Amino acid sequence: MLAKRIIPCLDVMGGRVVKGVTFVNLRDAGDPVEIARAYDEQGADELCFLDITASHEERPIILDVVARTADQVFMPLTVGGGVRTLEDIRALLKAGADKVAVNTAAVADPGFVQRASERFGSQCIVVAIDAKRVRSPRSKVEGRRVAEGSPQSSDAGWEVFTHGGRRSTGIDAVEWAGRMEGLGAGEILLTSMDRDGTREGYDLDLTKAVGRGVGIPVIASGGVGTLDHLYEGIVLGGADAVLAASIFHYGEATVGDAKRYLAGRGIPIRLA
């Protein structure tokens, strides 16, 4: 049986991890490679690097980080942040990323997802969706059809945001996920902007709504404060994988703790 994946996420800026990391035995707590190795030892199922570097000139730094990590860690690595062109994707894959997450570029040009998946394969194209609860998202998706019985036909829903959650798009998140699947996305990385950083748990309704609408895996993200939140994301939200940052970064729980906890509650988990 396919195990549910536990994915620690590292926010990387200028080649350094920006959130506090309190692992013991790290020579350099800001070095993404060192932290990746620590998560590897803890039994993480995948790693996610989010490059929050603002400037394009610093791209070579993340490529170097990816290459050095891929040399030492034999598990899947997803890299996102600032991916705009096919050349960006090619360079990240060549450096050793297994998957590349695309967000703003997909909204700006949905055809980009199709070209990327045709060229590199759906398996390595993750569409990251930053979604926020709204009363009534007015979809701007071209050729939109309101699905019968879709929860979006009522007055509650979630809207897609870009540019790190600063820019609204008017696009309905559930519908967008379906469209991205149709264009070849292999996976959806779904972040609740309402919950991100709150430690109140995932937006389970959002996770469920998006997961029901697509046949590709959905990674829940945003809001984890306790191990129980991971359980909720999988069982109540129906997520295929759960991503968390601070709970692992600040050493409150190791990935191993999380996996033993979930396995103890009957979730299919790979125990290293």
Which sequence positions are flagged as catalytic?
A: 11, 130
Contact flag: residue 87 with other proteins (CB under 8 A):
no
Two structure tokens written together for 39: 């998560």
Contact flag: residue 147 with other proteins (CB under 8 A):
no
Nearest Cα to 222, choosing from 261, 183, 260, 173?
173
Position among 17, 79, 124, 227 found at the interface with other proteins (CB under 8 A) = 124
Position among 25, 55, 155, 215 found at the interface with other proteins (CB under 8 A) = 215
Pinpoint the alpha helices (H) of 169-267: 173-182, 204-213, 227-235, 246-249, 255-264
Contact of 241 with 220, CB cutoff 8 Å:
yes
Q: How far is the CB of 46 from other proteins (least distance, A)?
A: 8
Q: How far is the CB of 218 from other proteins (least distance, A)?
A: 8
Contact flag: residue 187 with other proteins (CB under 8 A):
yes
Of residues 224-263, which lie at the interface with other proteins (CB under 8 A)? 240-241
Q: How far is the CB of 67 from other proteins (least distance, A)?
A: 8
Cβ count within 10 A of residue 146: 11
Q: How far is the CB of 201 from other proteins (least distance, A)?
A: 22
Cβ closest to other proteins, residue 13 vs residue 79: 79
The span from the CA of 260 to the CA of 267, in Å, is 10
Cβ closest to other proteins, residue 72 vs residue 153: 72
Which residues contribute to the site for other proteins (CB under 8 A)?
1-5, 40, 45, 67, 70-72, 74-76, 93-94, 96, 98, 120-124, 186-187, 215-217, 240-241, 270, 272
